[in-house]
Amino acid sequence: MAEIDLQKIVSHCKEYGFIFPSSEIYDNLGAVYDYGPMGVELKNAIKEYWWKSMVQMNDNIVGIDSAIFMHPTTWKASGHVDSFSDPLIDNKDSKKRYRADVLLEEKIEKFKEKGLKELAKKGISETETDDVKAKASRDYNKGLILEAEYIKAAEAGDLKRYKELIEEYEIACEVSGSKNWTEVRQFNLMFATKLGSLEESATDLYLRPETAQGIFVNFLNVQKTSRMKIPFGIAQIGKAFRNEIVARQFIFRMREFEQMEMQFFVRPGTELEWFDKWKKIRLKWHLALGTASSNLRFHVHEKLAHYANAAEDIQFRFPIGFKELEGIHSRTDFDLTEHQKFSGKKLQYFDSELNQNYVPYVVETSIGLDRMFLRVMSESLKEEQLENGETRIVLNLPPALAPIKVAILPLVKKDGLPEKAKEIYNQLRFVGRTFYEEKDSIGKRYRRMDALGTPFCITVDHQTLEDNTVTIRERDSMNQERVHIDQIESIVRKQVDMNQLLQKAMI
């Protein structure tokens, strides 16, 4: 099976109506994308998988849908106005802009990867301690030294030191190849806009850079109206906006994207226990999709945000390497305490078992819906070499996520076959998105359905008119079987049922 690179995924998404560049007729808007007819179905199926497993199947988690616009003080309280920024550096020759922290993290990763290769040759395992690995490999040791320096600089917010490290470690611009860098400076990622009609009296607003704050400010509204008892969670799916500077990786890093976030409110002192529980729950959710466990790993944050006492990412092996897919963060009582301070309103919970009021601690799980879409595409898109020498492009999506569940294909456009096929279509559309197609040869139609990820194709032929049987073709095996029309619904329903995934994720 051929390796699929990011460019192939981008082309496939465009060609088959999954994702288009935004405002393409005006030459696109950078790092903004539109989902097409197939894309929106797949995206909705991912949302459904998350929402059902998170909200509908947990009696201690409820959902909300808060507004994108929030009172401007929200972002002061949350710390976004003062510190939601990236350290940027420009190369003076190419004029290309980079994130200084990313340049350093990539360099650390390169040293470590080179070191691990050296260690493998010496028969030393990856699971050895850093001490052992550093002694046996110079590159691994260099990676650890740079990492320690970088963390020190990050914790001190020392941008001058970032630049010194970039120069000391001779990091060059990938375009000009030069090491001629500007100073490092902070750049806030929030988009500002105005509320009100008159410029002078209008209020400055921000487009939310995360959905989480809509949950924090509604904490008491939800807790009281839903009579929730700690521990409990509030979840939501919604748009977030960030003025990303390094945004070249398709839907991996976008300026407008969607998040699926859940804040879990717990008794102070129990947060690390819940942090571990949520890591396990979320990993199981990802593995239920049939992913090889070697494609997923936890990454411990090198530098913790000032409000967190634990943070890890679930990384996925994207075609661009292992990258963050989801964050699991123990955010302490920081957000609720800050909102109390800035609003002057109490955001406390009365714990009747302890007979005590307190500000709950929070464990958050936060996943980018678009990044999850890219992950599903990355592992599903395959180029297969067939025995007859032809190449087949197939999207072997988990059937529950497939945009089209079943295609009804009359063999020819005459002899009453379209009419019979439409009868079957009318019956099957209650199972899930059903597609009817009579154009092109049957082989071409099968190939198109494979590329769209359709798990089943039903072919209606002359025999169907005689004995009410059809051919059902399964996407991955390409096996074809003759079955009675009455059997189709149960065969398809069994495979495309979201419960199949949910049971794997939750039991």
**Nearest one of 334, 171, 289, 281 to 507, comparing CA atoms:** 281
Q: Measured from the CB of residue 84, what is the shortest distance to ligand GAP in angstroms?
A: 9
When asked if residue 41 is in the footprint of ligand GAP (CB under 6 A), the reply is: no
Among 9, 42, 212, 266, binds ligand GAP (CB under 6 A): 212
Of 68 and 145, CB closest to ligand GAP: 68
Interacting residues with ligand GAP between 240 and 259 (CB under 6 A): 242, 244, 253-254, 257, 259
Using CA atoms, how far apart are residues 17 and 453, in angstroms rounded to an integer? 12
Nearer to ligand GAP, 255 or 405 (CB): 255
Q: Which of the residues 140 through 199 are near ligand GAP (CB under 6 A)?
A: none
User: Is residue 101 within the footprint of ligand GAP (CB under 6 A)?
Assistant: no
Taking the complex as a whole, the smallest distance from the CB of residue 391 to ligand GAP amounts, in Å, to: 31
Give the closest residue to 286 by CA, choosing from 232, 381, 210, 367. Answer: 367
Using rule CB under 6 A, residue 402 touches ligand GAP = no
Residue 179, both tokens: 């090491």
Q: Omega into 360 within 30° of 0, i.e. cis?
A: no
Question: Between residue 311 and residue 370, which ones bind ligand GAP under the rule CB under 6 A?
Answer: 324-327, 364, 366-368, 370
Minimum separation from the CB atom of position 371 to ligand GAP (A): 4
Which has the closest alpha carbon to 233: 66, 363, 74?
363
CA 421, CA 459: separation in Å to the nearest integer? 8
169 vs 257 by CB, closer to ligand GAP: 257
Would you say 375 or 473 has its CB closer to ligand GAP?
Answer: 375
Q: Which residues of 364-377 are buried (b: 16+ CB within 10 A; e: fewer)?
A: bbbbbbbbbbbbbb
Residue with smaller CB distance to ligand GAP, 253 or 286? 253
Answer yes or no: are the C-beta atoms of 331 and 364 closer than 8 Å.
Answer: yes
Q: Does 219 bind ligand GAP (CB under 6 A)?
A: no
Closest CA to 488 of 457, 465, 462: 457
Asked if 53 interacts with ligand GAP (CB under 6 A), we say no
Rama region for 380: left / alpha / beta (φ>0; ψ in -120 to 50; rest): alpha
Pick between residue 84 and residue 436 the one whose CB is nearest to ligand GAP.
Answer: 84
- Contacting positions for ligand GAP (CB under 6 A): 210, 212, 242, 244, 253-254, 257, 259, 261, 324-327, 364, 366-368, 370-371
